[in-house]
Structures are given as structure tokens and as C-alpha cells.
Structure 1
Amino acid sequence: MTEPVEDEVFRNEDWYAEEITARSYTRCSFSEIDLTESITRGAVFTDCSFGNVRFNASKHTDSAFTGCTFKRCNLFDAEFEGCKLVGTTFTECELRPMRVLGGDWSFAGLLGADLRGTSFQGVRMREADLTGANCVDAVFVDVDLSGGQLRGSKFARSDLRGSDLTAFDPFNVELAGAIIGAEQAAMIAMALGLEVR
């Protein structure tokens, strides 16, 4: 890990295809930065803010963005593998078609996010805020969504196999056409007050 960077402001910089490996940033502000096709490996961003940053086609492996805020950022075709985004919030961001494999996104704030066609696999998303999120045609396979805030969210035609759906209220979440397993179906039926025999 290189010498940590703290309380710095980065603005209007071109970091196109930059490789950020084992660097640490704390309470830093990134504004109007081009990180298109950038790569992070083992990088740590703590309590940082990203505004109008382009992450298009970027790839992030074993990196951490904890307690960070993303506002009006573009993550088109971005990939996160084994990353930690605990407590990080996304506001007015372009997140399609983002792909997430593994990692911890617990307490992440995705209020009203457009997640249509995105993919989350094997991700821990405990108590994530997906209130009003549009997850139509998305993949949430083997995802821990326990304790999540899901009121008004749409999961129509999404793949939810293997995921923890205990926080799903069928009366407040749109699930038409969603793909689930037999055990999940029994749980949803019980939530509807049905008796499964």
C-alpha cells in the first residue's frame, strides 16, 4: 500500500485507463474525473465523494469504497469483483449494465436507482436501501438481501434464485415473472398468508 492520501480535492482530471493498485484515499473529493476503462486492484477509498465521475467500462477487483457517495456518476458497463461498498450511496447515477460479483454492499444506498438489467451475484447486501429501485430484468442470484428496504421496488422478470428474500413484502414489491426456487416460493406463499403443505 502506498502512502495514504487524505483530504485532497481532485477536479477536472483525465485518469483514462489509469491503473490504481494498492492506493488509499480518505475523505477525498473527486469531481469531473474521467476514469473510463480504469482498473483498481486492492485500492481503498474511505468516506470519499465522487461527483460527475465517469467510470465507464472500469474494472474494480478487491477494492473498497466504504462510506463513499457517488452523485451523477456514470458506471456504464462497470465491473466490481470482490469489492466492499459498505454504507456507500448512489444518487442520480447511471448504473446500467453494471456487473457485481461477490463482495459486501451491506447498507448501500440505492434509493430509486435504475438497476434494470444489472447483475449481482454472490453479493452481501444486508440492509441495503433499494426503496423504489427499478430492478426489472436484473440478476440477483445468491444475494443476501436480508433486512433490506424494498418498499416500492420492482423485481419483475428478475432472477432471484438462491437469494435471501425474507425482507420482501409481496404486497409492496413488484415480483411478476421473477424467477425463484422452490424454497423461496414457499416463503413468499407464507408471506401472503397461504398454508404450504
Structure 2
Amino acid sequence: MKKNWAIATVILAMGLATPVIAENLADVDRLRRSYLCPGCDLTGANLRGLNLSNNRADLSGSDLRGADLSQANLRGANLQDADLRNAYLGGTNLEYALLDGANLAQADLRATLLEGATLRNTYLANANLFMISLSGNDLENANLSGADMRNIYLGESNLVGANLVGADLNRAYLVGAELENADLRGANLSGVMFRNANLRGADLRGANLRGASLTSADLSGSDLRDADLEKADLNEANLQDANFSGSNLAEVNLIDANLTRANLSEANLQFAELANANLENADLTGSNLIEANFTNANLRYANLNRAESDRAQIENADLCHAILPSGKKVNC
């Protein structure tokens, strides 16, 4: 009797499993025939090499978790709010696709074509974006936390309010990018090209910016506490009201930079180049200024109390009303 029940249980289980598989296959067939499959179940589907480029495919809200879309052509497709977690998109053509609100967590996007694609509010946490191009793309408020973005091309892209916490952007290209109010805490930004980028109000606490190029970038009001900027290039950068407290600025290039009201307390500025920089009302209390170059710098009303200034160069610097390392105020 027990044996019969066991056989019946297996048959019942097989019967119940069949409709799920059939439903998945039906959705795959529907997509291939009509190119319209919003809300479809395509989990784990093999769509490798599928060509939907000329039909404005609709996959909005579809479940594509773990699907293989490698080498597929989805140019112009609607993938808004689709679930693409762990999907393989290597070599996929997603040019001008709509990916707003889609979930691409841990997705493999290496060699994916994304020119003109929109990714507003897209979830890309821990995704692999190694060396792809997103030049000029809209990624406003996208979540890219922990993503592999090494050598990525993001020139002129929109990353306003984006979450890049802990992302690896080593040697990425972000010239002219919009990163206002972006969250870059703990991100690896070593060697990144940020020339002319907008980082106003960005959170860069604890970020690695060693050797980064930030020439003429706007970091006004940004938070760089405890960040590592050793040997970074901030020539002519706007750093007004920025917070560099406790940061490493050793050997950094701050020539002609605007550091008005910047907080540089306890920062390491050893061997830094600050010629012609504007440090009016800047807070340099307790900072390391050993062998820093302040030639022709504006230090009016700056606070240098307790700063280590051995061998610092201050030729022609304006120290009017500044508080010196000794605590003495300069009267003018």
C-alpha cells in the first residue's frame, strides 16, 4: 500500500510540475512569434542570439532571472521594470533599449552594447560592467553599489543621485559626467578621469581617489572626509565648501583651485601644490602642511592653528587676518 502511495505521489508531482514548464515554454514561444511578451515568465530561458531588433520588442515587467541573452539583438526593446537578476547579457545589443526600473543585480553585462539606452532608477548592484561604454547614457538614481565598473566609459553620462557605494571604477572615464549628489562612499576611483565632471554635493567619504584626474571638476559642497587623494590632480577644481577633514592629500595638485571655506582640518597636505589657490576662510587646523607650496595663495581669514608647517613655502601668500600655526592672528 505504501508503495502505491509513493508511486501516486511521484506521478502527482510530475503532473503538477508539467504546467509550470509548459507555461515557461509557451512564453518563450510567444516572444519568438510576436515579440510582445510583457510580464512573461522567461526565467532561465535560452534566448542566446535572438534577434528582435526590428520589432520594438516589449518585455516590460518580464521575469528574465538567469536567462541567457548573450549575443541577442534587443535594440530599442522595452525592458522597463524587467527582472534580469543574474542574467547573462554578454555581447547583447541593448542600444536605445528602455531599462528604466529594471533589476540587473549581479547581471553580466561585459561587452554589452548600451548606446542610447536609458537606465533611470535601474538596479545594477554587483553587476559586471567591466570596460563597457555608457557614454551619454541616463543613469539618474541608478543603484550601482558594488558593481565592477573598471575601465568603463561614462563620458557625459547622467549619474545624478546614483548609488555607487563600494563600486570599483578603477581607471574609468567620466569626463564631463553629471554626478551631483551621487553616493560614492568607499568607491575605488583610483586613476579615474573626472575632468570637468559635476560632483557637487557628492558623498565621497572614504573613497580611493589616488591618482585621479579632477581638473576643472566641480566638487563644491562635496564630502571627502577620510578620502585618499594622494597624487590626485585637482588643478583649477571648484572645492568651495568641500569637506576634506582627515583626508590624504599628499602630493596633490591644487594649483589655482578654489578652496574657499573648505574644511581641511587634520588633513595630510604634505608636499601638496597650492600655488595661486584660493583658501579664504578655509579650516586647516591640525593639518599636515610640511613642504606644501602656498606661493601666491590666498589664505585670508584661514585657520592654520596647530598645523605642521615645517618648510612650507608661503612666498607672496596673503595671510591677512589668518590664524597662524602658533595660534597668533595676523592683523592687517
TM-score, normalisation: structure 1: 0.89
Q: Are 2:248 and 1:157 aligned? A: no
1:58: how far off?
0.4
State how far apart, in whole Å, the 2-side matches of 1:129 and 1:4 are.
32
8 Å contact kept, 1:170–1:191 = no
8 Å contact kept, 1:137–1:156 = yes
8 Å contact kept, 2:223–2:244 = no
The equivalent residue for 1:135 is 209
- Specify whether residues 188 and 155 from structure 1 end up closer, same or farther in structure 2 by C-alpha distance, changes over 3 A only: farther
- Specify whether residues 161 and 18 from structure 1 end up closer, same or farther in structure 2 by C-alpha distance, changes over 3 A only: farther
Map 1:104-143 onto structure 2 (within 5 A): 104-143=178-217
- Specify whether residues 32 and 170 from structure 1 end up closer, same or farther in structure 2 by C-alpha distance, changes over 3 A only: closer
Q: Are 2:178 and 1:87 aligned? A: no
The equivalent residue for 1:66 is 140
Unaligned stretches of 5+ residues in structure 2 = 1-55, 57-75, 259-273, 285-298, 301-316, 319-332
8 Å contact kept, 1:55–1:74 = yes
The equivalent residue for 1:175 is 249
State how far apart, in whole Å, the 2-side matches of 1:49 and 1:69 are.
5
166-175 vs 6-15, greater mean Cα deviation: 166-175
1:72: how far off?
2.6
The equivalent residue for 1:188 is 279
1:4: how far off?
4.0
8 Å contact kept, 1:169–1:191 = no
Map 1:41-80 onto structure 2 (within 5 A): 41-80=115-154
State how far apart, in whole Å, the 1-side matches of 2:256 and 2:145 are.
39
- 3-state SS, counterpart of residue 17 of structure 1: coil
Structure with the largest fraction of helix: 2
- Specify whether residues 108 and 176 from structure 1 end up closer, same or farther in structure 2 by C-alpha distance, changes over 3 A only: same
8 Å contact kept, 2:82–2:103 = yes
Match of 2:104 among 26, 30, 33: 30
Q: Which has the higher contact order (CA 8 A, sep 6+)?
A: 1
21-30 vs 55-64, greater mean Cα deviation: 21-30
Query: What amino acid maps onto 1:141 in structure 2?
Result: T
71-80 vs 3-12, greater mean Cα deviation: 3-12
1:93: how far off?
2.2
148-157 vs 170-179, greater mean Cα deviation: 170-179
8 Å contact kept, 2:237–2:257 = no
Percent of paired sites with the same residue = 21
Q: What whole-Å deviation, never above 9, does each CA across 1:31-73 have from its counterpart, x for those lacking one?
A: 3321112232222112111133111110112111111111332
> Which one has the largest radius of gyration?
2
- Specify whether residues 182 and 88 from structure 1 end up closer, same or farther in structure 2 by C-alpha distance, changes over 3 A only: closer
1:153: how far off?
1.5
- 3-state SS, counterpart of residue 90 of structure 1: coil
8 Å contact kept, 2:77–2:96 = no
State how far apart, in whole Å, the 2-side matches of 1:182 and 1:52 are.
38
- Specify whether residues 41 and 138 from structure 1 end up closer, same or farther in structure 2 by C-alpha distance, changes over 3 A only: same
1:26: how far off?
2.2
State how far apart, in whole Å, the 1-side matches of 2:215 and 2:144 are.
24
8 Å contact kept, 1:96–1:117 = yes
19-28 vs 102-111, greater mean Cα deviation: 19-28
1:167: how far off?
3.0
Q: What whole-Å deviation, never above 9, does each CA across 1:74-124 have from its counterpart, x for those lacking one?
A: 111111111001111113322212111212111110012121222211111
State how far apart, in whole Å, the 1-side matches of 2:244 and 2:106 are.
41
